Homo-oligomer: A and B are copies of this chain.
Amino acid sequence: MAVRRQPTLRDVAAAAGVAVSTASRALTRPGRVNAGTADRVVAVAKELGYIPSASARALLSGRTATVALVLPDVTNPFFFGLVRGTGARLRESGYVQVLADTEESAEVELDTLRKLRGQVDGAVLAASRLTDDQIAVAAEDLALVVVNRTIPGTPGVLLDTAGGMVQALEHLVEQGHTRVAYAAGPTTSWSDRRRREALEPAAARLGVELVVLGPYAPVRTSGADAADAALDAGVTAIVAFNDLLAFGILERLDARGVAVPEGLSVVGCDDIFGSDLVRPALTTIESPVERAGRMAADLLLTRLDGERPAGGDDEDDDGLVVDLPVPGAPVLLPTRLIVRGSTGSAQV
């Protein structure tokens, strides 16, 4: 693991017998240099194993070709798709992906965002624990795209799981259910609020009684409480905040000897890895998470590559600088109900 000194542009220029500026041009804009010279420089650079210093470029241009994905918990399988989607899109454009875990803490998130400023060109902020205001403020210092959040003036991508849950409710009604529980997620969750706001009017419209249970931490272990509460509440079906919670519910029902779907129909949300592995397989709401990630990265890159076309730098001293046209509404991605074995007719 010895470390060899990297050749610099100066080394290349010297070896090729040209000035650094010529070497620089030859490597970045070959058109503006004598073809023969350019070839020679390129050859020498290759031979020496020259790699331009990212730090020097960054210092000069203010651009790092790096984008961060900020999320509350890398552990949560739901976010894996986001990692993949953003990563794939970023790689396509030659960007480097940085991963930041905020450990479900608003404080850590704020601090992370602060430190990221200057280190990255922008960030995709997923399931943020911050307030709208805090995000808006952070967006002043760092190009931001939010996922599952609406912040006026900040581009965003929304997964319409609320819509998916309404589909689930309709499905249950068709199956004859008239009293359905919703096992709620954390009160701090923006998505949870959105879902409740969608479920309540839908329930009224469909003439079904909706019982809200919880809130529950969106993890498997909370499933036991949720299952018990559902049984106590005398519902025939339960829609869970997410699949992890639904897995826990299934486990508990199994342990208590309650058959699914005969004793209780169960619906999850997100279609994470494993939802088709459990028995009975879980009826759930498929979210195009990976696509959302790709989209978020795309929005950010569009922003970034429009922003400073070529290292522009204003010398205005009034502090404030660029103000860009902001895309109106966030992108809303539809979700889809996947019916599997965990839901069935209501037992009268």
Binding site for B on A (CB under 8 A): 1-6, 49, 51, 53-56, 58-59, 64, 66, 74-75, 77, 80, 83-84, 87-88, 91, 96-101, 114-115, 117-119, 139-144, 153-155, 247, 273-274, 277-279, 303, 307, 314, 319-324, 326
Q: Are B273 and A3 in contact (CB under 8 A)?
A: no
24 sampled A-B residue pairs with Cβ under 8 A: A1-B153, A2-B320, A2-B322, A3-B143, A3-B307, A3-B321, A5-B314, A6-B141, A51-B115, A51-B117, A51-B118, A53-B118, A54-B58, A59-B59, A74-B83, A74-B84, A75-B84, A80-B80, A83-B83, A83-B99, A87-B101, A96-B98, A97-B98, A98-B98
How many copies of this kind of chain does the complex include?
2
**What's the nearest-Cβ distance from chain B to residue A2, in Å?**
5
Inter-chain contacts of A320 with B (CB < 8 A): 2, 4-5
Q: Are A1 and B55 in contact (CB under 8 A)?
A: no
Instruction: Give A105 to B114 CA distance when docked, in angstroms.
Output: 35
Instruction: Give A139 to B4 CA distance when docked, in angstroms.
Output: 10
Inter-chain contacts of A140 with B (CB < 8 A): 1-4
**What's the nearest-Cβ distance from chain B to residue A322, in Å?**
5
Instruction: Give A142 to B84 CA distance when docked, in angstroms.
Output: 25
| Given contact pairs A96-B98, A96-B119, A118-B54, A2 touches B323 in the complex (Cβ within 8 A) | yes
Q: In the complex, which of the residues A54, A66, A143 has the most CB atoms of chain B within 10 Å of its own CB atom?
A: A54
9 shortest interchain CB distances as A-B pairs: A55-B58, A274-B274, A279-B279, A55-B59, A2-B323, A54-B119, A277-B278, A55-B55, A99-B99
Q: In the complex, which of the residues A1, A49, A98 has the most CB atoms of chain B within 10 Å of its own CB atom?
A: A1
**What's the nearest-Cβ distance from chain B to residue A150, in Å?**
14
Inter-chain contacts of A84 with B (CB < 8 A): 74-75
**What's the nearest-Cβ distance from chain B to residue A308, in Å?**
9
Instruction: Give A91 to B108 CA distance when docked, in angstroms.
Output: 11
Nearest B residue (CB) for A122 = B1
